[in-house]
Amino acid sequence: MTYLLGLTGSIGMGKSTTARMFADLGCALWDADAAVHRLYAPGGAAVAPMRAVFPDAIEDGGVSRARLKAILAADDTALARIEGIVHPLVASDRQAFLSETEADIAVLDIPLLFEGGFDAMMDATVCVTAPPDVQRARVMERGTMSAAQFEAILAKQMPDAEKRRRATWVVTTDTLENARMQVQGIVDDIRKGRAHA
The residue extents of the domains of the chain are 1-27+106-197, 33-102
Nearest to 109 by CA among 177, 35, 175: 35
pLDDT per residue as tens, the chain (197 positions): 899 999 999 999 999 999 999 999 999 999 999 999 999 999 999 999 999 999 999 999 999 999 998 999 899 899 999 999 999 999 999 999 999 999 999 999 999 999 999 999 999 999 999 999 999 999 999 988 889 989 888 888 899 999 999 999 999 999 999 999 999 999 999 999 876 55
Give residue 196's pLDDT. 59
Residue 122's contacts (CB-CB under 8 Å, 6 or more residues apart) are: 4, 5, 6, 108, 113
127 backbone dihedrals φ, ψ, rounded to 5°? -110, 125
Backbone CA torsion sign across 106, 8, 85, 46: negative
What DSSP designation does 55 have?
A: G
- Bridge partners (DSSP) of residue 160 are none
Give residue 14's pLDDT. 93
> How many whole angstroms separate alpha carbon 165 and alpha carbon 108?
19
The top-level CATH class assigned to 1-27+106-197 is alpha beta
Q: Alpha helices of the chain — where are they, by DSSP H?
A: 15-24, 32-40, 47-53, 65-74, 78-100, 132-142, 147-156, 160-166, 176-196
Give residue 86's pLDDT. 95
Identify the three-state secondary structure at position 139.
Answer: helix
Give residue 144's pLDDT. 86
> How many whole angstroms separate alpha carbon 177 and alpha carbon 161?
23
Task: Report the phi/psi class of residue 194: left, alpha or beta, with left for phi > 0 and alpha for psi in -120 to 50.
Answer: alpha
